A and B are shown apart, each in its own frame.
Chain A
Amino acid sequence: MKEKKKEGVLDILKKVLFVDILKGLSVTVKYNVSRSVTIRYPDEEKWIPYQRFRGAHTLNKTEDGKELCVACELCVKACPTKCITVVPEEDDTGRGIADRVPKVWKVDLVRCLFCGYCEDACPTTAVRLGREYELACFSRDDAVREKERLLKPQEVPEGFEGGVVVSAKFERTKEGIRVKPDIWKPKDKNWWKKV
């Protein structure tokens, strides 16, 4: 049998004067006047992930605008869910870095599990998993991304370090809604880590 701990005079005095309750109240009132940690996501702020983040695919180009992809189809082979389709074609007009370029390069983001094997397989670092994470769409067909879309430059450039909350703008257009980040306006949201 567990022996009941004897209460000293000090413990009883503590109980009578509500010391613990007052301590609790002082903690909560401190938090009541402190800053909040909420990221006001669609309206004012947005989280930019770290560089290691694996979001939606993107196809890179060289600095002079040539497609890096040589349609070798290694990403198709590496993909565990078979969500990438590549159809190669011959094109020597200088569109790509080689004569072999993709006619079709599409990825089905519904089936993709964002493992990043396609990045690893790619010999020319053409395919990268970017930092776009707002992938919601209205139909399954919308989730299939074609080459034209993937070739567009990313919203957050590859060199940007990330891991910060930046100010953003909520935009409502005919094409849909989007949250446009302003990556050069970071907001300090890490104050609570130092508390």
Chain B
Amino acid sequence: MTEAVIEVAIIFIKVVVLGFILFSLPLPLTWIERKIAGHIQVRLGPFRVGPHGILQPFADMVKMLFKEDVIPEQADRFLFRVAPIISMVPVFMVFVAIPFGESWTIPFINKEVTLYVADMNVGLLYILAISGVAVYGIILGGWASNSKYALLGGLRSSAQMISYEVALTFACIGVVMLASSLNLIDIVKTQTGGLTNWNVFYLPVGPLWFIIFFIAGLAEINRIPFDLPEDEGTLAAGFHVEYSGIRFAYFMLAEYIAMVSMSVLAVVLFFGGWDDPTGLGFLPPIVWFLLKVGFFIYLFMWIRFTLPRYRYDQLMSIGWKILIPLSLLNILVTGWMII
């Protein structure tokens, strides 16, 4: 009986800690993104609030909280309120299945805790399914605003998701075939033991899986060069054009957490998770994991300030004419290689 209570308590604590970290992650991320944007454009970025502008996100947060929360007169009031939450909740739910490491022994009481909330046998399936739900927030937000720009943003988003979700899933199938498991911990375990065991270096198909996954992932989380749902050049701000204040902050929060989850997924599926590439073990596995995730977050931001946005028809032709056939071919080749 007491064991069960302790187990439940540990899970509860893990969820609270994870939730707290995820809620506070966008604060440093917005600052980092604006700094990277600034330095890539030979500017300084935020500089006046705190040393090197480090307190800027807090100032932004206070501003967001105190802004008037406008709901357009013609909007569908219920859906308009619910949409930001629908887009935010699934990206948090994704992290339930993500392993950050194997286990960790708490010092002093010698209690071993696993570094994941739930060890799911169908972890990858769960993640792909749940992250697909997030798009409903964008579609509903676009539709409920009763504005042309927002509706177009929502429509684009749904079309984009349909075309890229397929490629994303196909890219994951190769990894699943290799590990013969949907469990993310098993997938990482098959990659342990140095660089050459990482899925991305499973030649010749590994790099291709990763490139397809990465491009589809960029489209999935609406980042430049595929951020057509919020294309500010043609749609003002796309699906969140009518949102303001804290509801707008929810969408931004969802976007940043989605970026983190995509980075984590890329690391877990292709870059060996918490595997130490040097094999020397001078850094704990969780540090390696975070370093890799950090690199991917930087990569997403770096790409954002390098590439222009693709046109809508280009987006569609990349998705349907290149990525999906290529990923199908890739699965075929992987099958041959395994046999």
Contacts and interface: CB of A to CB of B under 8 A. Distances in A.
Interface string B303-318: 1011100000000000
A24 B48 contact: no
Given A32-B36, A43-B48, A38 B303 contact: no
Interface string A23-46: 011011101111111101001000
A36 B43 contact: yes
Chain B interface secondary structure, helix, strand, loop or mixed?
Answer: loop
Chain A interface secondary structure, helix, strand, loop or mixed?
Answer: helix
A31 B40 contact: yes
Interface in B3-44: 36, 38-44
A34 B307 contact: no
Nearest to A30: B40
B58 interface: no
A192 B42 contact: yes
A27 B41 CA distance: 11
B302 interface: yes
A31 B41 contact: yes
B104 interface: no
Interface residues of B, number: 15
A28 B38 contact: no
B42 A21 contact: no
Contact of A38 (B43, B302, B305, B307): B43
Contacts of A32: 36, 39-40, 302
A37 B302 CA distance: 20
Contact of A31 (B39, B47, B48, B307): B39
A28 B306 contact: yes
Given A21-B307, A25-B306, A36 B44 contact: yes
B141 to A, nearest CB: 31
B303 A37 contact: no
Contacts of A31: 39-42
A28 B42 contact: no
A192 B43 CA distance: 12
B330 to A, nearest CB: 14
A36 B41 CA distance: 8
A37 B42 contact: yes
Nearest to A39: B44
B47 A24 contact: no
B306 A24 contact: yes
Contact of A29 (B38, B41, B43, B302): B302
Contacts of B40: 28-29, 31-32
Given A32-B36, A40-B47, A43-B48, A25 B42 contact: no
Interface string B278-313: 000000000000000000000000110111000000
A73 to B, nearest CB: 47
Contacts of B36: 32
Interface in B31-80: 36, 38-44, 47-48
A34 B302 contact: no
Contacts of A24: 306-307
Contacts of B302: 25, 28-29, 32
A122 to B, nearest CB: 42
Given A32-B36, A36-B38, A43-B48, A25 B43 contact: no
Contacts of B307: 21, 24
B66 to A, nearest CB: 26
Contacts of B44: 36, 38, 40
Contacts of A40: 44, 47
A183 to B, nearest CB: 23
10 contacts: A21-B306, A24-B306, A27-B306, A31-B41, A32-B40, A33-B39, A34-B39, A36-B39, A36-B42, A37-B42
Interface of A: 21, 24-25, 27-29, 31-38, 40, 43, 192
Q: Which 9 residue pairs spanning A and B have beta carbons closest together?
A: A28-B306, A38-B44, A24-B306, A36-B44, A32-B39, A28-B40, A32-B40, A37-B42, A38-B43
Given A34-B42, A36-B42, A38-B47, 12 more contacts: A24-B306, A28-B302, A31-B41, A34-B39, A35-B42, A36-B38, A36-B39, A36-B43, A37-B43, A38-B42, A38-B43, A43-B48
